[in-house]
Amino acid sequence: MKPFSIVVLISGDGSNLQSIIDRITDQSLNVKILAVISNKANAYGIERAKKAQLPIEIIEHQNYASREIFDAQLIKIINQYQPQLIVLAGFMRILSDDFVHYFYGKMINIHPSLLPKYRGLNTHQQVLEAGDSQHGLTIHFVSSQLDGGPIILQQSITVQKHDTVEILAKRLLLQEHIAYPNVIQWFSEGRITLDNKHVSIQSLHNL
């Protein structure tokens, strides 16, 4: 079966990108990464992409006069590759409404909290300060509301007595590295549908 095509957008370390690359390499993910796009030239994820011999596009946002001009250029680059899905993997940019509407239903993000709790940054710190017993991750479609798009999957972990921000982040990242490739595989199998704001996930035997 022809691999499902994606582009991956990064800004930093690229550990979720690496988890996708690893699953493609061990053939448990029927996906082809058409390009890795970074808005930062020094993002370590670029090194991961180079090692995997993937096409790389660097488009630094500070070189553009406005968010809208940057996003228009980003749309142009993505459209050159014609991916079936756009995967945000630590892409630290708030995208304009025009960009989000253009790709709505074709773009997903992973966020380190059990949304709608703790949108934005510093989620691990917020969980500890609130004394929550559960933390987790959310994979969702990207909408014009920050970290507010339709939810595809959530997974939780228990907050332990001696957890620090660093320990909690590390434990959650291990779960992210399993969950994100799994969800992308569901897309490749045609199991995820979005009807307005309602997400449906079919089981394999119903296909």
Would you name the residues annotated as active-site residues? 111
Name the residue among 149, 160, 151, 174 with its Cα closest to residue 127.
160
Q: Are strands 107-111 and 4-10 parallel, antiparallel or unpaired?
A: unpaired
Q: Do 107 and 100 contact (CB within 8 A), yes or no? A: yes
Q: What is the Rg, in whole angstroms, of the alpha carbon atoms belonging to the chain?
A: 17
125 Cβ contact list (under 8 Å, min separation 6): 165
Name the residue among 146, 22, 4 with its Cα closest to residue 87.
4
Name the residue among 88, 106, 95, 108 with its Cα closest to residue 145.
95
- Where do the DSSP E strands lie in the chain? 4-10, 31-38, 56-58, 85-88, 107-111, 134-141, 151-158, 192-195, 198-201
Cα 43 to Cα 47: distance, rounded to the nearest angstrom: 8
